[in-house]
Homo-oligomer: A and B are copies of this chain.
Amino acid sequence: MSKLLIVGTVAFDEIETPFGKTDKILGGAATYIGLSAANFNTESAIVSVVGQDFPEKHLNLFREQNINLDGLQVVADGRTFFWKGRYHNDMNTRDTLETQLNVLADFEPKVPDHFLDSDIIMLGNLHPAVQMSVIEQVKAPKLIILDTMNFWMDTTLDLLKEVIAKIDVITINDEEARQLSGEYSLVKAAKKIHEMGPKYVVIKKGEHGALLFHDDEIFFAPALPLEEVFDPTGAGDTFAGGFAGYLAETKDTSFENMKKAIVYGSNLASFCVEKFGTERMKNLDIEEINGRLKEFKSLTQFEINLT
């Protein structure tokens, strides 16, 4: 079985949408990536940090999904990373109302011995220094996938570029691709980002789907059109988790297989947004995922024979 190492935040989120608001609920990039990847046949571990305020029930949720927590540090007297945000009526844009780094401020990741030979590393959004440290600890990964965001482009671009030079697949959203490349056209942006290192560039366009670029080839998967998007929090991470989980299960990192991984990422993300936080991701079953795969097929597949 492939080993999938997941790095990213494990956090408390407080979310406000036009549909309602939550208390402090479970959130964080590694959380969504882990819960999404758990739908695939792979051995996975989370490397992250929480405070003493992090409840046992959340830890148990990860354990129930067979996610190894040896690399999840619990800081005595520390408080867990906290993010509070409010979505606008279009559900595509949001304001950050509060960010408390807490235990994340001094986080030094330590990859558990059993995962030093991980096959795939999924670097969720975090400080590039943390991402680099994990890359340096793992022996000979077959594939390194990186997610990041505009915040690190604004504050620590040089270090971020050093990380980007070392990875195989980058997943970022359209605005971030434009910022990183200085190109408005996503086709041109992907080319410039290729030149920075990654052989594969995934550009996430939220409700407008995701593009996978490799040399001159492009693949696109739409987001599933939904009656209602309830809470977009974690959709991008859930997408990345489905992508990484599928590649880990199938042990095939070819472009053809990455197409399928993109479809699975979109599939999983379509569940994530249906309820607040991780609620919908806790008890997904394979029948639901397969049912939605059929929807993706009928949404996108057509038969035209050239005359």
- If the complex has contacts A208-B208, A227-B187, A228-B185, are A220 and B300 also in contact, measured as CB distance less than 8 A? yes
A303 / chain B contacts, CB cutoff of 8 Å: 260
- A216-231 residues with Cβ-Cβ distance < 8 A to B are 217-222, 225-229
Chain A window 74-93, contacts with chain B (Cβ cutoff 8 Å), 1 for yes, 0 for no: 00000000000000011000
A280 within 8 A of B: no
A218 / chain B contacts, CB cutoff of 8 Å: 225, 298-299
Complex CA distance for A68 and B225, rounded to whole angstroms: 40
- If the complex has contacts A205-B208, A298-B217, A299-B219, are A185 and B304 also in contact, measured as CB distance less than 8 A? no
A151 within 8 A of B: no
Chain A window 192-221, contacts with chain B (Cβ cutoff 8 Å), 1 for yes, 0 for no: 000000000000010011010000011111
A283 within 8 A of B: no
Asked whether, in the complex, the Cβ of B187 is within 8 Å of the Cβ of A225, the reply is yes
Asked whether, in the complex, the Cβ of B227 is within 8 Å of the Cβ of A185, the reply is yes
Asked whether, in the complex, the Cβ of B89 is within 8 Å of the Cβ of A184, the reply is yes
* Nearest B-chain residue to A91, judged by Cβ: B184
A298 / chain B contacts, CB cutoff of 8 Å: 217-219
In this complex, the member of A90, A188, A209, A259 whose beta carbon has the largest number of chain B beta carbons within 10 angstroms is A259
A219 / chain B contacts, CB cutoff of 8 Å: 298-300, 302
Complex CA distance for A300 and B218, rounded to whole angstroms: 9
A186 within 8 A of B: yes
A-B contact pairs, 17 of them (CB 8 A): A185-B228, A185-B229, A186-B225, A187-B226, A205-B208, A217-B298, A218-B298, A218-B299, A219-B298, A219-B302, A220-B299, A259-B302, A260-B303, A290-B306, A293-B306, A294-B306, A300-B300
